[in-house]
Every structure is written in C-alpha cells, then in structure tokens.
Structure 1
Amino acid sequence: MNFVSKYYPVIICFSLTIFTTIQAQEAKQHPLEAKIDSILSILTLEEKVAMCHAQSKFSTKGVERLGIPEIWMSDGPHGVRAEISWDDWAYAGWTNDSITAFPALTCLASTFNPKLAGEFGFSLGEEARYRKKDVLLGPGVNIYRTPMNGRNFEYMGEDPFLASTMVVPYIKGVQKNGVAACVKHYALNNQEHKRDLINVEVSDRALHEIYLPAFKAAVQKANVWSIMGAYNKFRGEYTTHHELLTKKILKGDWKFDGVVISDWSSAHDTKKAALNGLDIEMGTGTDGLGMTTANHYNQYYLASPFLKALKNGEISESVVNDKVRRILRLMYRTNMSSNRPLGRANNKEHHDVARKVATEGIVLLKNDNNFFPIKDDKNITIAVIGENATRSMTTGGGSSELKPKFEISPLQGLKERYKNATIIHSIGYASGASIYDQVMPSPYDADSLKIEAIKVAKKADIVLFVGGLSKSHLQDCEGDDRKQYGLPFGQEELIDEIKKANKNIGFVLITGNAVDMPWLSKVDGVIQTWYLGSMAGHAIADIISGDVNPSGKLPFSFPKKLEDNGAHSFGASSYPGINLTQEYKEDILVGYRWHDTKKIKPVYAFGYGMSYTDFNIKNVAIDNKKYAKNGTITVSCDVTNTGTIDGAEVVQVYVGKSKSNVKRAVKELKGFSKVFLKSGEIQTVSITINVDELAFYDESISDWNIEEGDYEIYVGNASNNISKKMKITVK
C-alpha cells in the first residue's frame, strides 16, 4: 500500500473538517448570507427564474412551497400611489388606499435641510409599510438639465452635491421601516421626450461628476436596497442592462449589493439583461390574463427565454443565482425581516412633516415694498385669481400621482387662515383635462373668464394670482416634455389685464420647473410654491400670512430665456436630440455652472431665496491655508439675524480653481448649512469639506484626480451672492 492510498481517507476527512470549520466560521460571521445560500440550494431553476420577473403590474412571485413571500412594489417618491389592478393600469378601486401626499422632491431639495429629508423619508416609509409595500419606487435623483423636462418636479435639482446630500437621509428614513427605497432612474434619464428611444452621448467626466454622484451616494452612503433602471440608451446601449453603468460601475466599482429593477418595459434583451446586471424585470408585458399570450409575464426577457438559455447552457446558472441571492437579501431586509415595524398612515405626525417640508421649501423670489406677508385685516379684500387656486395638484403627473385622504387647496388654506379679511375668488383662466397622452380643450370660454377676473380684481385691495403649471400632459408630467417655456392658457395676457385693474399683485407660482417671466415687473411679489401635497393650502397660507418666515432656496437656476440654459444653447443636437441621439454639449457646465462660467445672468440663481428678515454673514475664516490631499477643510462664519423676525438662512460654500489644467466651472457647491436664528441672534456655523471632494474625474486615467495648487473658497447665501472669497492651497 503506498502513502497516498494509505492516508487518503484521513486527508479527505481532515480536509472536510477544515472546510466545514471554515463554513461554520463564515456562517457565524455572515449568518444572513448563509441563510440565503441554504435557500438557493433547494430552489429549482424554474423557481429561481420566476423570482426574476413580474407576476402582476407591481408584484413578483414568491415560492409557496418554501414560504418565500411575494414582493410588492408601489410608485411613490412623495406618497404611496393608489392600488393598481393586477394586469392593467386601471386603479383597483380600493376604498382604503388613501394616503398623505408629501411635497414633490423639488420642494424637499429647496429646504436645504438634510434632517428634514430624513423625517420626510421616515414618514413616507411608514405609510408604505402600512400599505404592506416592500419596495417604494423612489426617490428620483436625475439631474435637472433643462427646464423642459416634464419630470423635473420628481427630482432634486441641478446640483449633484445637493442631490447627494438630500437623498441619503431620505433613503435611510424610508428603510428604517423595513421598506426598500428604489432610487431612480439609473441613469441619464434627463428628458421625457422620446425617453424610451433617445440615445445619450456624454463625456466620462460629466457622467461621473454631474450625473452619477447622487446614485453613488445612495449606494455607498445610504446603503440603498434597490435601484431602478432608466428607459434611455447611453452610447447606444439601453441603460437598464448596461455593461458599463450597471455591471461595471454600479455592481463592480460601487459594490452595490441590492437589486436592480427595470423601469416598466425598459428591458429589451434576454442575454444583456441576464449578463449586465438586471435582477427583476417589471412591466414588459401589459396583459397577464388576456386573450393573447404575447405579453404574458412568462414571455418577459427574464422569464421563459431566460430559463431556456439557462437550460441549454447559453447562460451559466451562476448568473441566475446571483440575481436570486440579491432578491433574497432584499427580502430579508423587508418582508422576511424578523423585526419589521407595522407602519402608520394619515396620522398627525405625517401631516406635520408634510407641512413643515412645504413651508421650508417655499421660496420667496420677489418682495417689492414688503408686499408679503399680508396681514389679516378686516379692512382688506383679497382677490384670489387663478385655476391653480383650486385645482388638485396631487392627481396627474404620471406614476407619482396620488390619492390623498384630503388635499388643502391654496384657496381653502387662505380662507381658513384669514378670518377677518374678505377673500373673493375668480378662476381667471382654465386648462383642459389631461387624459392619457392627450390634452382636452377647456370647457370654459377664455374671454368670459378674463372679464370676470378683471371685475373681481377691481373690487379688491390686493390680488393674489395663483398660476404656473399643472401636472397635466405636456406640462409637469411623465411621458413627454413641455412645449413652451412660458406660462400656458393665456396667463401672461391675463396678468397684463389685471394690472390695469389693480396695481397690487402678488404671484403664487405653482410649478416644478423654471418658467419664462416676462410678467415679473408687473407683480410686486413672487413666491415659488412647487407641488406641496396634502397640506399645500395651509403651507402657502403660513408663508403669505407670515406665520412662517420663508427659508427655501432654489435647487435650480431660472434662465431669462431658454437659450440661456446650457443644454439649449447648442440647439437641437443637445436638446431634444437629432435622429434620436443627443449630445450633452454643455458637458460639466450644468445649471449655475453654465451661468457662472459663461457669465450669463439668470433671472434667479441656484441657491437664491429671500426672507422676511435680514441676515449678515461675516467673520468668514478657514482653519488654515494649506491642506494635504487626504485632509479636511473647515470653513466657519458668524451668521446674524439683523432683522426683527425669527428666520433661517442657508450658508453655502462653493469651491473653484481658476488656474486649472482642465476645464472647470467657476465654482461648485461643496457644503451648506441651514441655521435657524431668532431676531438679533448670532451663531457660528462650521462646514467641513473633505479635500477628496475637490477631485475631478480624469479621463486620461479613468479615475478621480486632485490637482495640486491654489483653490478659491466662496461663502455666501446663493451661487451669485458671495459674501467672502478666500484662497487655499492643496499639496
């Protein structure tokens, strides 16, 4: 007997013992992964594939024989959507699916308050949990590139640092409830026009510096549990199953351990979906139980075609195992979690959060002669003119439309707040209803409405014109973009006529986008109010009455004319594209970066917002003048409320490098802090910036790089209102 044959059983036994010990140690260190592996080993191939695609409009299959539950999803970046039917887009007609409508995310971004973003996310997550949802399809963090994008109201503005900072606490808040946030739409989904056909061409530098940071923060700082793909193409390949974006960057470089979910019908190919990182395919078919099998759920790319490719060896089983491992991990975080809270809906705390976000997000843009606030005086008659004063702003808009338990209109909010003043109302202008992708004509005669509005204006001491856009098709709405930069339905002409009848006009502007403002000189005050949800009217009345001092700041620039926007300055090849391809020719110069660098003044700048009190920023200092590449920069200043009213100011820190070897914007936001001050109060504010955040994406090495040399630090309260500029050196 030779040595091997004599001792081979002992060697095997010894090796198995070591292997078992290692397995036991790994299981002890990673008990969740061990559980997942044990489930994977007993799933059939058919069961694995069934978990990778929809079984209804908003759910995926579980495995009944093993007690693995279904996954239930819901639209809802700012509120949980009403229940949708199993097989089509009709509402299910439930009577118990009404919720709290929170303000849209442009408003949340305008608060510049990350703590409030956490409260927003937590409250929203509680409502999703109460509705027994496992995945909440939001938030959206696509960058505001053009004011024509119909879906901008769902996103967090034009600056990647602001979006990154606000999205992290939002996601953490949602997920505290055992509900997965699903950050969307990954990536470069910056227009709705031909969104499922358009091919985006953009530099690596703009991709990494502008369009990916908020997604990266969601993954690496918030540990988001799911991400939704986008409809559009990037460099000729659909983004939902994109080799560079999804496979290499998201799952490779960023080490995302969650689930990639397609947008509804954004998957296009079985092999690419399988190999390039898509985990769950939703919405590709529209009819699960109809007369045809063509759109049945089993015909999805990650359904029967995927199973066939796995069985014939074209795709390795390790591919489906990775997908199911991620899906099971999502389940253990949500519907298979042992300590999941119960959730709540429509409670006072949620209404309070919705109102607080709304009031902190409203931006005072103009206030000549202290037009706002307006006192509640029995000798004052206030004319409220405009369809937006009574129109529901929670319905419409596409997939984010809501069914709130109640919605306080601006007119109702004003009437409930102003007990002494006389309030009269006229519709003034009217839009048509939006049905699917069609805009119906208005049922009212425009001239008659105008005549009546002028009569009402003549009777009043003050006119509040409540106008702007709505969440109708071709306005602020999913599915297509706006057709005009100006206000629709004759609002500009109506303001001209009202001005002849009453010189005291304030504009309550309800939009999710910047608009043309040729009427600006004809009004004394403007407040930008966004889509504010259930508590809209109360929040608007809070600001107009002065019960709350406005503190919102714009999350995007308002260009004077559309051509002043970077994306539009290059013509159709940049927006909306030619032959279904568009080039982001403004590159990294998005929003205020474009206005600053090209010296094109906007009407209102990024970060701008007025108050009923006054603030002074002084004694600006930095901790030293020279920094190592791995160091931190601390900027401090004293903020004084020099007025007579308590209020809040947002200190903003921008960084630039005038002498650079690469193209740069004049300055970029790198830090901010919202500070609440009583009248006469002084506070010292400190903002810390990691030197690493000064890096640019170096295309020559396909990685981040920090230039040595001098940098400029700008401290102020808007991108165009800088109190102090200083210089530092990075070595």
Structure 2
Amino acid sequence: MFRSVKSFLILLLMGSLGAKSTAQENLPIYLNEAKPIEQRIEDALSRMTLEEKVAMVHAQSKFSSPGVPRLGIPENWMTDGPHGIRAEVFWDKWDQAGWTNDSCIAFPALTCLAASWNKDMSALYGKVIGEEARYRNKNVLLGPGVNIYRTPLNGRNFEYMGEDPFLASRMVVPYIQGVQANGVAACVKHFALNNQEIDRHKVNVTVDDRTLYEIYLPAFKAAVQEGKAWAIMGAYNRYKGQWACQNQFLLNDILRGEWKFDGVVVSDWGGVNDTKQAIYHGLDMEFGSWTDGLTMGASNAYDNYYLANPFLKLLRSGEVKEEELNKKVRNILRLVFRTNMNTKRPYGSFGTAEHASAGRKIAEEGIVLLKNNNNTLPINFSKAKKIAVIGENAIKVMTVGGGSSSLKAKYEISPLDGIKNRIGKEAEVVFARGYVGEKSKAQDGLSTGQNLADNRSADQLIKEAVDLAKTADFVVFVGGLNKNDGQDSEGNDRKSLGLPYSQDKLISALAKANKNLAVVMISGNAVAMPWVNEVPSIVQGWYLGTEAGNALASVLVGDVNPSGKLPFTFPAKLDDNGAHKLGVYPGNGEQTYNEGIFVGYRWADKHGTKPLFSFGHGLSYTSFEYGKVIANKKDLAEDGKITFSVEVKNTGKREGQEIVQLYINDVKSSVPRPVKELKAFEKVSLKAGETKTVKFTIDKTALSFFDAAKHDWVAEPGDFRALVGASSADIRQSIGFRLK
C-alpha cells in the first residue's frame, strides 16, 4: 500500500510497477537508478528535513520504520526469520492480525542446515526463503543467526549453525547471497556473544580478544566481507560493560572500522538502553518489543524511543551534531536503494510446492544417522510388516512456538503421518503416545490447534507403549525436546542436559521389548543418552519444518541415504563441556568465558574427553574408504598455497554422500592452540564402487592464530600436520608440511 498519491506517482515513473521510464535523466538524482548509489544517497539526504531523518532511525510499528512519503522513499518492513516468514501481526501488538494468506513454508532449523555441511543447500535455503520474504513485501529478513554453540543448554542454539567458526562461516555466506539476490536484506544476528538466553538482557560477557576473534567473530566477518550482508542485528547482552546494540568496540571499532561494513545496524527488539550511546556507538535503527520499547501502552508510543524525541531534542539544542544523524540515515538509505527502491528485483513467490520441496531436500541432507548397529536401518519391509511408532514428538506440531522463529505454516507433516504416507501400504503402522509433555502454549495469538491432553500416569503410558512394541516387527521411537519454554526456545535456557517427561525410562523399556528399534531425537540441541548402549540405532532429526515427517520417513526407509553430520559436539555429560566445567553458568549478570578458545571439540581434544558423539560425526547406509593424503609440495611459502588430495571410495552397495573434513594441527606453537581445527570440508557424492579425488587448497590464514598483543593474525613458521577424516574424532589420514 502506498502512503501518498505522490509516492505512487514517483514509483510509477521509476518503472517499479512495470512501466518503462522514458525520462530517466530528468528524474531527481536519488530516483535515478543509473546514478551511483552513494550519489543518490547524498541527494536524498539533502532533501530531507531533520524530523524526517529522525523518523527513519526508529520504528513506527512492530516491524516497520517510516520512509519519506513526500519524496517517494518507501518504508522498511522487517520479518522474522530465519526459518520462515512470520505471520502478520497488528501494527502495535504481537497478536495475529488474522490474515488468511500469510501461511508460509516452514524450513528446517539452521542447525539442520549446518548439519548438511552442504554449501549448495545453504544457497538453496537463502534463495527460497528470500523469495518468500520478497513476495510478502518484506525488505529485511531478520536472520540468519550465527552465534556459536558454547553450551548445550542455550535455548536458542537451534537457530544457529553450530560450534565451529569455520563451518558457520562457510554455511552463512551462500544463505546471505541467496536471500539478497531477491532484493531482500539478510540481517545477520545476534552481534555478538549472545550465547545464553537466561539474563540475556543484562548479562555482561567477559572474553579475551583472542577468543573473541578466533571463535565468536569469524562467521560474522564472513557474513560481512564475503556474503556482503546488507544488515546486522545487535544482541541483547553486554560486552565490556556496553550493551551490544550500542557498543563502541563491536559496532564502530570492529564492524565499521576493521571490516568496513556499509550496511545498516538494527537493534534487537527492545535492545537499546541509552540515547547517547545509541547515537555515538554505531546503531542505525531502533526497534522495540512493547509499544515504546520501554513500557507497555504509552501514548504516542514510538516517539518515546531512545532514537526518537530524545534524539531530536539533542539535535535541536545543538548538543548533538546533525552529522551523527546523517551517518545513520545514509546507511538506511543505502538499504532502501538496495532493496525496495531497486526496480529490477524479482517479485518472489510464496507457499509454493517448489519451496516445500526445497525444504524437504535440505531436511533430508541434514538428518544425521548417529548409530546403526547391525544395519538396523533402513527398515526392511520384507521382515517388518507391523511398525509401531511411539512418542509424543511423532504427532506434536513443532512450527509454532520457540520465540521469534514461531511460524504460521501452510502445513506441517508429522513424523507419524510421514511414516504412514510412505509405508502405510507396505506395512501396518500403529501408534502409542509413550509420554506426555506439557501443553503447547499459544504464541502471539497463534496456537498449534492440537489438544494433546492425556491424564494417564507415566507408568501407564510406558506400559501401553511397551505392550505395543512387543507385538511389532519394528519400533520407531520419536522423542527429544520441543519448542516450549525451558527447552528449545528463545527467552530461556534448558534446566539440564537430560530428556524431559521420563523418556529415558521409556526408551530403556522399549529396547528390552524389541531389539528392532530406531530412536529418533527431535531437537536443536545435544541431549544426554544414558541408554545409548541399549539401543541399536539413533537418528538426530532436528526441527525439519513443513515437510518434516516426509523427510524423516524417506531416511528411515532408505529412499534417501543419510548424509548429515553433527555441527556440534554431543557431550556425554554436562561437565564435559568447558563452559560448565570452568564457569558459573548462567552466572549472575556476569559471564566469563574461562574456557577461552577451547569450545566444543577443541575442549574434548585438549582434555582427552570422549564425547557421546563427536563434531562432524554422521553415518551412512554405505561405507567409505580413504586413501593416502598427498600434498603438492612439502613447504608452504608465506604468500603461497598448498593443496592436499585424498581419494575417497564408496565401498558399499549403494550411492551415498560423504563429508570429507580437513583439520590442521600446529605441531609446535608459542601459544596454546587446539589439537586440531577445521579448515576445509567437501561433501562428495559417490556411486557404489566409485572413487573420487577430493582436493583442499589452503594458505597461511588456515595456520594462523590471533595475536592479541599485535591485534593481528599470526602464522608462525614451523611444522604442521594436515588431518583428513570423517569427523573430528575419526581421522583417517594425515601428512606433515612446513610453513617457511
């Protein structure tokens, strides 16, 4: 909807409604797409009043900020992300607006995307979610998230891309490029150090510079410098005593100064806490959770924002120079010209079968086969004529809830329905509840529509499930976590590593009742598995979106050969995680990262701790053999490159994909370094019996560590080893080389 007749006429003249302009050169510079963007920005800025500029730097509704109607500069419209396009809410409320045409395709959670280890899947994800955002006329997608998996208790880990900065860096870039090809800005979040949900609005993070640069910044840096992200969202937490949304060190020194970011910095909703710091410390646009970002129900709500009337008052008095405002407006105008004033951007599409198919493909590539003794999977229909599906997560809606990633999905195929869809004609499928979790709560007026109430005791539910399992040829247990508060959900963290709702007791009982058992964990986090040695097969199923059940069924029956690998470590117990071993989690408003750079598999390697399942682990229905790794030279020059080659053979009887991983070990260093660090990976498809050569080329950046004293990356000459394997704990081949 256009806010004025003049806006409509100007945009019509530009050709954004399909008309071809024949007087391009007669347009004002800011409307002339033939002119350089920076020139257009300065022209538009010179035509704006002080009040119009201030209006642009803060919200006017829950998800929009003003344009300049008299100049034909449109509003900015944001949408959550990162797993699908959020349903429309009222102008000033979180409640559903009641639209009938805003049901989206729900895509898999980003943990699943990261588990695919497939950059092509990331590009596909960005493309289709960008098309959905564009069709809904959103010019900023609030995602993806790349905060590092520091602790398995973080309720928001399911929205992120795992524990390793290199993996997250490689996976985030294609996603951004796919989104922005649609003329929609990817807003990468939450910058930075947002690694817990408890006390997220007040916690102050203390972390040394080396850890900051080696672990917590690389994915954001790649998003900016390689992905060319047009927007960044600040975090709620503090760093060096300053809120992340108004942080001199993060936003001015690093983001703008070191990385030369030229996009817009958006606050998390309600993440601004001080007008002057917001003015001077790098924030461009302020958005809020309540009607004024501060309290509920204030009149003239958005005028009360920190960057609204308080900012305007300081400008009018001369206490703050107008150039501080102009810096922000330039960034916002650059966003506008890149997105909703780009007449060449595509129209997008929404809720299509093509998008659902893309989501299913991503889900299938991200599902991880953790354990498969005696080839329990895939299900053999010649022997399995009656299949028992057990567990609440087999029927529970997972697209609603969890915080900002909650979605009004066009549809969601449950695991039970997916299994019935696929094997209902080949075998009998029966179901038992097994356990009952707490009732799903409506979020923002959106409910699951399910009534899963069941007043039976845990023992009664277990008995029913076990009795059914004894009569079946094969049992599929579908459990794990859900999107309720205190599990995989924004705003709170998990209370423990263990499974809720007496699931451990149930799984052990099922293992005794039927040896043909597949345990499917639906979660975005690692969970404890005290029954791990009792069950023959385990599948990590993630939150898979609209096509969840169909994707899961295709892997269980073998239509799809599983090829996902874990993007984070599953510790055997919480104390095997450095943040919990050395820290006081969640702290009392203070959180010190005592484990430093030793996060995830780096910690396990350092202390010789055997994880439940290692970073990079994932099995297949076929097998792969690694040949000898070969280097094209023995020495790496300071300004040179070195290539490692390894032959990988599919030694099984069916086609499959293997993720070949390259880690680097610094044999002798002047500073403590991890035993190994991921520096390259490749997902390769091999037919039965086929051999392919996988090549990795690195330079000295792969050998470098961050020297805090020099504030620079350093690669020390000396001996290194290249380690090639199937996971961080399954190194198949290695070779030594030297950096001259």
TM-score range, shorter chain: over 0.9
Residue equivalent to 1:9: none
Quote the residue 1:711 is aligned against: 720
Taking the TM superposition and a 5 Å limit, the aligned residue runs for 1:89-100 are 89-100=94-105
Aligned runs of 1:372-387 on 2, under 5 Å?
Answer: 372-377=377-382, 380-387=385-392
Which amino acid is the alignment partner of residue 201 of structure 2?
Answer: D
Q: Say if 2:577 is the partner of 1:565.
A: yes
Contact 1:434 / 1:473 at 8 angstroms: preserved in 2?
no
Question: 2: CA distance between counterparts of 1:483 and 1:414?
Answer: 32
Alignment of 1:253-402 (within 5 A): 253-283=258-288, 285-286=290-291, 292-293=297-298, 296-377=301-382, 380-402=385-407
Specify whether residues 398 and 426 from structure 1 end up closer, same or farther in structure 2 by C-alpha distance, changes over 3 A only.
same
Is 2:479–2:521's contact at 8 Å kept on the other side of the alignment?
yes
SS in 1 for 2:615: coil
Deviations 1:374-412 (A, max 9, x none): 023486211100000010111111100111111111001
2:431 aligns with 425
> 2:99 matched to 1:88?
no
Deviations 1:453-506 (A, max 9, x none): 122112211111100001111000000000111100010111222233323221
Which residue identity does 1:655 align to in structure 2? I
2:239 maps to 1:239: no
Q: Tell me which residue corresponds to 2:589.
A: 580
2:177 pairs with 1:172: yes
1:695 alignment partner in structure 2 = 704
Contact 1:267 / 1:284 at 8 angstroms: preserved in 2? no
Q: Does 1:451 align with 2:463?
A: yes
Verify: 1:40 aligned to 2:56, yes or no. Answer: no
1:549 to 561, 568, 579: 561
**1:187 aligned residue:** 192
SS in 2 for 1:652: strand
The 5 A counterparts of 1:592-671 are 592-671=601-680
Do residues 730 (structure 1) and 736 (structure 2) align? no
Distance of aligned partners of 1:288 and 1:723 in 2 relative to their CA distance in 1, 3 Å threshold: closer
Q: Does 1:504 align with 2:516?
A: yes
Shift of 1:348: 2.4
CA-CA distance at 1:630 after TM superposition? 2.2
* Bigger mean CA deviation after superposition, 310-319 or 112-121: 310-319
Aligned 8 A contact 2:144 2:186 in 1:
yes
1:533 CA drift (Å)? 0.3
Secondary structure of 2:149's match? coil
How far is the alpha carbon of 1:433 from its aligned partner?
A: 2.0
Please list the CA deviations of residues 93-149 of structure 1 after superposition, one character each: whole Å capped at 9, or x if unmatched.
Answer: 111001111100000000110011001100110011111111000000000000000
Residue 134 of structure 1 is matched in structure 2 by: 139
Give the 3-state SS of the residue equivalent to 1:567 in structure 2: helix
Q: Give the superposed CA RMSD.
A: 2.0
Map of 2:12 onto structure 1: none
Counterpart of 2:477 (choices 438, 441, 465) is 465
SS in 2 for 1:37: helix
Residues 185 and 476 of structure 1: is their aligned pair in 2 closer, same or farther, counting only changes over 3 Å? same
Distance in 2, Cα, partners of 1:377 & 1:441: 34
The verdict on how the C-alpha distance between 1:126 and 1:566 changes in structure 2, with shifts beyond 3 A counting, is same
Cα separation, 1, equivalents of 2:300 and 2:530: 49
- Name the CA shift for 1:294/1:698 in 2 (closer, same or farther; >3 Å): farther
Match of 1:110 among 111, 115, 135: 115
- For the structure 1 residues 658 and 214, does the alpha-carbon distance in structure 2 shift closer, same or farther, using more than 3 Å as the test? same
Aligned residue for 2:25? none
Residue equivalent to 2:500: 488
Residue by residue over 1:642-679, the C-alpha shift from the partner in whole angstroms, topping out at 9 and shown as x without a partner, is 10010000110000113100110000000000000000
Output the CA distance in 2 between the equivalents of 1:278 and 1:479: 23
Corresponding letter in the other structure for 1:462: F
Per-residue deviation, 1:68: 1.0
1:540 is matched with which residue? 552
1:523 aligns with 2:523: no
* Runs of 4 or more above 4 Å deviation: 27-30, 287-292, 440-443
Q: How many residues align?
A: 703
Q: Which residue type is aligned with residue 435 of structure 1? A: K
Contact persistence 1:657–1:712 (CA under 8 A): yes
TM-score (norm 2): 0.93
Q: Residue 226 of structure 1: CA displacement? A: 0.2
Partners of 1:515 and 1:599 lie apart in 2 by 20
Look up the match of 2:22: none
Shifted more, 377-386 versus 27-36: the winner is 27-36
The structural deviation recorded for 1:170 is 0.3
CA shift digits 1:581-634 (9 cap, x unpaired): 011010000000000111111011000000000101113111111112222221
Cα distance in 1 between the residues matched to 2:454 and 2:367: 31
The separation in 2 between residues aligned to 1:497 and 1:715, in whole angstroms, is 40
SS in 2 for 1:435: coil
User: 1:411-450: per-residue Cα shift (whole Å, max 9, x none)?
Assistant: 0110011021111001111111243799x99643233322
The one-letter code matched in structure 2 to 1:251 is R
- Map residues 74-85 of structure 1 onto 2, 5 A cutoff: 74-85=79-90
Structure-2 separation of matches of 1:495 and 1:118: 38
SS in 2 for 1:533: coil
Distance in 2 (CA, whole Å) between partners of 1:430 and 1:629 is 60
- For residue 626 of structure 1, what is the amino acid of its counterpart? D
Alignment of 1:220-231 (within 5 A): 220-231=225-236
The question of whether the paired residues in 2 share the 8 Å contact of 1:378 and 1:421 is answered with no
Q: Which consecutive unaligned segments of at least 5 residues does structure 2 have?
A: 1-28, 445-450
Determine helix, strand or coil for the equivalent of 1:714.
strand
Query: Cα deviations across residues 683-712 of structure 1 (Å, max 9, x unaligned)?
Result: 111111122232111011112111111111
> Given residue 152 of structure 1, which amino acid in structure 2 is its aligned partner?
N
**Alignment check: 8 A CA contact 1:125 1:174 kept:** yes
Residue range with higher mean Cα deviation, 103-112 or 275-284: 275-284
How has the CA–CA distance of structure 1 residues 673 and 402 changed in structure 2, closer, same or farther, with 3 Å as cutoff?
same
For 2:58 and 2:205, locate their aligned partners in 1 and report how far apart those are by CA, in whole Å: 27
5+ residue gaps, structure 1 = 1-23
SS at 2:627 equivalent: strand
Deviation of 1:290 (Å): 11
Q: Work out the CA distance in 2 between the residues paired with 1:181 and 1:522.
A: 44
| Secondary structure in 2 matching 1:569 | helix
Conserved 8 A contact 2:622-2:654: yes
Moved more, 96-105 or 492-501: 492-501
Q: Percent identity?
A: 57
SS of aligned partner of 1:451: helix
The one-letter code sitting in structure 1 at the alignment partner of 2:214 is E
Of 242, 253, 273, the match for 1:248: 253
User: What do the CA deviations read for 1:505-547 (whole angstroms, capped 9, x no partner)?
Assistant: 2101111000001011221100101000011111111100100
Q: Which residue in the other structure is 1:12 paired with? A: none
Please report how far the alpha carbon of residue 726 of structure 1 lies from its aligned counterpart in structure 2 after TM superposition: 1.4
**Cross-structure match for 1:403:** 408
